[in-house]
Structure 1
Amino acid sequence: MKNKPITEYTNEELINQEKNSKAITILLMVAIPLLFFSNLFLTFKHKFSALAVIPIALVPILIVNINKWKQLKKEKADRNL
């Protein structure tokens, strides 16, 4: 499935995409620190694990989601929705 440019979304698609992007971004904003601190705790309690890199690996995904959310909010504001 090929992604359409944001400017080609219908109003309903734009609202749904913005709502989904917001939910996913907020979920990642909560999950990454939780994973980081739980891995930090487990590292001090036991030893380093390969799973400790997961929060670090999720940060670029969070950045991409934040940028997409901003673009969707801007397009929504441009259309006065």
Structure 2
Amino acid sequence: MKAKKPSDMSLEELLQKEKMIKVAIYSLIALNIILLIAVIFLFVKKGFSALFVVPFSMVPIIIINSNSLKEIKKEIALRNS
């Protein structure tokens, strides 16, 4: 199933998607901070680990979701004006 573009969605769908993406972004940021703290703690205790790249590999996912949120907000503003 292909994802709909914001211009093809109703206003209710846009608002619901905006809310869902905000929750996802905040959750990912919180988890990323927790992972970064855990990795730093492990680095101090045992030295370098391959887990060090995990928090940094999640950053593109956060950026993609942020860009989607911007598009949705732009579409909502366009429809409300």
**Structure 1 length-normalised TM:** 0.90
Superposed displacement of residue 78, structure 1: 1.2
For residues 1-81 of structure 1, what are the structure 2 equivalents within 5 Å? Answer: 1-80=1-80
> How many residues are matched?
81
Could you tell me how far apart the structure 1 residues matched to 2:3 and 2:66 are?
18
Partner SS state of residue 58, structure 2? helix
RMSD: 1.4
Moved over 6 A (4+): none
Structure 1 segments unaligned to the other structure (5+ residues): none
**Structure 2 length-normalised TM:** 0.90
Could you tell me how far apart the structure 1 residues matched to 2:28 and 2:54 are?
12
Partner SS state of residue 79, structure 1? helix
Could you tell me how far apart the structure 1 residues matched to 2:72 and 2:5 are?
11
Identity %: 41
Partner SS state of residue 47, structure 2? coil
